[in-house]
């Protein structure tokens, strides 16, 4: 059973590395494909143990579908956040109300939490400052009234609904 898990992890690593090779080279030339495959096989032999714990199970169709759907969703969120920040910068009164808020996540895996932190930081107007267990400390350019409450539980709920919850719908399925 242990050997099958190693093979599964190795094959998953080869597939992911080869897909990255395809994206970076943007070429379907047989020589480049062959070299990319050989390089992926070699690199995977040294890195599969730290690259994946789930192996080929990570390629479950539902996870792949959610990952594909997450890309346009994230790009749309990034475009809307860019427009929001541009509005705030160009507005004569500079309507900003910055603050540091605490959000809670429902994600369990470290990779999922990392993806959430990166998604938040890559979206203009928010920066992930710290991740402590299930808590995210985020600098937000516009803290709404609901998140400025003195009651800690209401503050966390309002901030989480505005920042983390939209991304978590996808990331929970993708990363478990």
CA distances from residue 175 to 40, 69, 98, 167, 168 in whole angstroms, order as listed: 23, 14, 31, 12, 10
Burial per residue of 76-112, b for 16 or more beta-carbon CB atoms within 10 angstroms, e otherwise: ebeeebeeebeebeeeeeeeeeeeebbbbbebeeebb
Domain coordinates in residue numbering, the chain: 6-59, 69-175
Per-residue pLDDT tens digits for 70-110 = 999 999 999 999 999 999 999 998 889 999 999 999 999 99
Per-residue pLDDT at 4: 53
Mean pLDDT across the stretch 121-130? 95
CA distances from residue 152 to 100, 104, 142, 158 in whole angstroms, order as listed: 13, 12, 18, 10
The answer to whether 120 touches 131, Cβ cutoff 8 Å, is: no
């Amino acid at each position: 059973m242990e050997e099958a898990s190693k093979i599964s992890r190795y094959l998953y690593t080869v597939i992911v590395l080869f897909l990255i090779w395809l994206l970076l080279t943007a070429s379907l030339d047989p020589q480049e494909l062959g070299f990319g495959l050989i390089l992926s096989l070699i690199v995977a032999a040294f890195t599969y143990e730290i690259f994946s714990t789930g192996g080929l199970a990570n390629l479950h169709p539902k996870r792949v579908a959610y990952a594909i759907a997450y890309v346009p969703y994230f790009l749309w969120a990034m475009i809307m956040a860019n427009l929001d920040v541009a509005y705030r910068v160009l507005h004569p009164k500079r309507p900003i109300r910055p603050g540091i808020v605490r959000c809670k996540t429902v994600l369990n895996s470290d990779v999922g939490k990392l993806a959430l932190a990166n998604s938040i930081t890559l979206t203009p107007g928010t920066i992930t400052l710290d991740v402590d267990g299930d808590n995210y400390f985020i600098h937000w350019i516009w803290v709404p009234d609901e998140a400025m409450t003195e009651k800690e539980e209401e503050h966390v709920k309002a901030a989480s609904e505005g920042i983390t919850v939209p991304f978590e719908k996808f990331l929970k399925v993708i990363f478990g």
